[in-house]
Chains A and B, each alone.
Chain A
Amino acid sequence: MQTIDAGDTAWVLISATLVLMMTPALAFFYGGMVRKKNILNTLNLSFIMMALLSVQWVLFGYSLAFGVDVKGLIGGLNYAGLTGVGQIPNETYAPTIPHLAFASFQMMFAIITPALITGAFVERVRFKTFLIFSLLWATFVYDPVAHWVWGDGGILRRTGALDFAGGAVVHITAGFSALAFALVIGSRKGFGKRPFEPHNIPYSVLGAGLLWMGWFGFNGGSSLAANGIAVNALVTTNSAAAAAGVVWMLLSWRDNKPSVLGIVTGAVVGLVAVTPAAGFVTPLSAIVIGGIAAVISYYAIRLRQRLNLDESLDVWGCHGMGGLWGSLATGLFASLAVNDAGANGLFYGNPSQFLIQLLTSVVVAGFAFGVTYILARVLDKLFGLRVSANEEEVGLDLSEHGERAYT
């Protein structure tokens, strides 16, 4: 039996705390971009995930993702209720920290991922249906994909796919699910006819700043130890965010003026893109990954606008495309010199890693899109995805929660 390392455990607990903070940070990042009649509802779509999915994770979510493998597709129910998940380390996942520390660190990822999707359907989603959707989505999309990519015996893990902190598991799933949900729920009333001005960009700046900080736990903590890989992940994370923020600023400047909302969005996109790569690439590679991610997402948003699709806060453009690029880039820039538990990428003489990354990304994106599309369709039939036109006009703060944000 391995012994518990105090330093590793402390770092993973701090990281779990940092990742938890990212969900309210995301709430404010999104909240600033909606109209003021929907701010409370938008904040709540993220915040309620901390409550709802923490329960799901303890009851059966963790077990479905990390329980004993069933045919490479899903975890068994042996850890349901966190039975047998205690202070003794799990040799496979994290041999130097209590198994519970690993399970709670992972819980924070399971919470924020469905919160990311909410950007697609803000200002019109029916809260009750949204709660059911999120529970089902966590169970039928997040938990299986986490098992495929990270679970012992998972089908994608067996192919040698690299996903350091969730480029595929978190960002590709959220981004492509957002696209599917937006297609089903349809546009907000008046979309395309009048501008939907962000009501409080300072909230978004605050949220993005806290996301940047929290991402040190997201990526840095994913080494599951207080070691050199954690340090590498922290530096690559910072480098990618920085490069993407600068590149987005320049793109925005070329089109008009250097938009503040644009700059902070760029930083978030850089963080997304480096997520799968953080523990496998050098800081210099991270700058390239972040810089290119900004260009991809900037024009993905433009494309989405041209198509007149109301995927309202660009979850697909930022997380879907940023995550996709990051996963592919891991297959280009990964280096055994950085992390001998990883692999070499195409630029280090191993083109097959790029193909593995491509396969993983396509499978995860397709699965997330497909299941979400079906879930959204079925729930729309059963309960209705949208509030009524009148409730939408009044605003969801009043119509869904009976509260006003600003009095």
Chain B
Amino acid sequence: MTKKIEAIIREESLEDVKTALKEIGIVGMNVSEVRGHGRQGGISLAGRSGTYQIDLLPRLQINIILSDHNVEKTIETICKAASTGNIGDGLIFVYPVEEVIRIRTGERGRQALSYPDDIDVRQESLVGNEIG
């Protein structure tokens, strides 16, 4: 089963999150700029005279498509790297994915998601070593 992780994080956490994910072997992702707010509902900014309230703050959304059995580890890694302990750290959503197709080769499913040195390749070689 293939899953999609959609993580909304602070802009300044991106480098930490990327590095941490790379360390556990999450190789592919895409990132987009989003604006939004949660329960705290925005901040006040300094204007020409006095202040004004804005509700939508800039955040980044990271999309990762991965196999079911890697989801928990990935969530843990993102939470650890993106947490400051303050309001506004963001949210993670997990969705099921119907199908994945790699455009260049036409590969589907897990084949389409595998990269050299990705999380599954690493684990397999680890397992292989233990047996060997």
Cβ-defined contact, A262 with B54, below 8 A: no
User: Which one of A195, A257, A314 contacts B48 once the chains associate, using CB atoms below 8 Å?
Assistant: A314
Return the contact of B49 from the options A195, A257, A305 (Cβ within 8 A).
Answer: A305
Q: CB distance B49 to A302 under 8 Å?
A: yes
Query: Of residues 27 to 86 in B, which have CB atoms within 8 Å of A's CB atoms?
Result: 44-54
Q: Are B52 and A262 in contact (CB under 8 A)?
A: no
Are B50's CB and A265's CB within 8 A?
no
Nearest to B50 among chain A residues (CB) is A255
Of A255, A299, A317, the contact of B51 (CB 8 Å cutoff): A255
When the two chains form the complex, which single residue of B44, B48, B53, B54 contacts A261, counting CB atoms closer than 8 Å?
B48
Q: In whole angstroms, how far apart are the Cα atoms of A299 and B47 in the complex?
A: 13
Asked if A54 is at the interface of the complex by the 8 Å CB criterion, the answer is no
* Chain B residues closer than 8 Å to A255, beta-carbon distance: 46, 49-51
Task: Say what secondary structure dominates the interface of chain A.
Answer: helix
Chain B residues contacting A259 (CB-CB under 8 Å) are: 46-48
Q: Is A197 an interface residue (CB 8 A)?
A: yes
* Interface presence of A30 (CB below 8 A): no
What is the predominant secondary structure among interface residues of chain B facing chain A? strand
Nearest-neighbour CB distance to chain B for A178, whole angstroms, equals 15
**A258 touches B (CB below 8 Å):** yes
Q: Does A407 have its Cβ within 8 Å of any Cβ on chain B? A: no
1/0 contact trace for A273-312 toward B, CB 8 Å?
0000000000000000000000000110110010000000
The reply to whether A262 and B46 form a contact with Cβ atoms under 8 Å apart is yes
Chain A nearest Cβ from B118, distance in angstroms: 36
Interface extent on A, as a size class? 10 to 19
List CB contacts (< 8 Å) of A242-273 with chain B: 251-252, 255-259, 261-262, 265
Check B48–A256 contact: CB distance below 8 A: no
Q: Which residues of B contact A (CB under 8 A)?
A: 44-54
Write 22 A-B pairs (CB below 8 A) sorted by A numbering: A195-B52, A195-B53, A195-B54, A197-B54, A252-B46, A252-B48, A252-B49, A255-B46, A255-B49, A255-B50, A255-B51, A256-B50, A256-B51, A258-B46, A259-B46, A259-B47, A259-B48, A261-B46, A261-B48, A298-B49, A299-B49, A302-B50
Nearest-neighbour CB distance to chain B for A396, whole angstroms, equals: 22
User: Distance (Å) between the CB of A231 and the closest chain B CB?
Assistant: 32
Among B44, B50, B51, chain A packs the most CB atoms within 10 A around the CB of: B50
- A256 to B46, Cβ gap below 8 A? yes
- Using Cβ atoms and an 8 Å threshold, which residues of chain B touch A258? 46
Per-position contact with B for A173-198: 1 when CB-CB < 8 Å, else 0?
00000000000000000000001010
How many A-B Cβ pairs are below 8 Å?
A: 41
Cα of A265 to Cα of B46 in the assembled complex, Å? 13
**CA A252 – CA B45 in complex, angstroms?**
11
Q: A314 vs B50: C-alpha distance in the bound complex, in angstroms?
A: 14
Cβ B46 vs Cβ A301 within 8 A: no
| A261 vs B52: C-alpha distance when bound (angstroms) | 13
CA of A190 to CA of B104, assembled, Å = 48
Q: In angstroms, how far is the closest chain A Cβ from the Cβ of B57?
A: 12
Docked Cα-Cα span, A262 to B45, in Å, equals 12
Closest 3 CB pairs of A and B: A259-B46, A301-B49, A256-B46
CB-defined contacts of B46 to chain A, threshold 8 Å: 252, 255-259, 261-262
CA distance in complex: A238, B54 (Å): 35
Q: How far, in whole Å, are A253 and B53 apart by their CA atoms in the complex?
A: 17
Separation of A258 and B46 alpha carbons in the complex (Å): 7
Chain A hits for B50, CB < 8 A:
255-256, 302, 305
Taking CB as reference atom, which chain A residue is nearest B53?
Answer: A195
Listed residue (B44, B52, B53) with the most chain A CB atoms within 10 angstroms of its CB: B52
B48 and A265 contact, CB distance less than 8 A: yes
A195-B54, A197-B54 as given contacts; A256 in contact with B44, CB under 8 Å: yes
With a cutoff of 8 Å between Cβ atoms, the chain B residues found around residue A262 in the complex are 46-49
Nearest residue (CB) in B for A196 is B52
Chain A residues with CB under 8 A of B53: 195
Closest-CB distance, B17 to chain A (whole angstroms): 28
Alpha-carbon separation in the docked complex, A339 to B50 (Å): 39
Q: How far is the CB of B116 from chain A (nearest CB, A)?
A: 37
Bound-state Cα–Cα, A258 to B48, Å: 9
Are A301 and B51 interface neighbours, CB within 8 A? no
Question: What separation, in Å, do the CA atoms of A251 and B53 have in the docked complex?
Answer: 19
In angstroms, Cα B130 to Cα A397, docked, is 66
Q: Which residues of A contact B52 (CB under 8 A)?
A: 195, 197
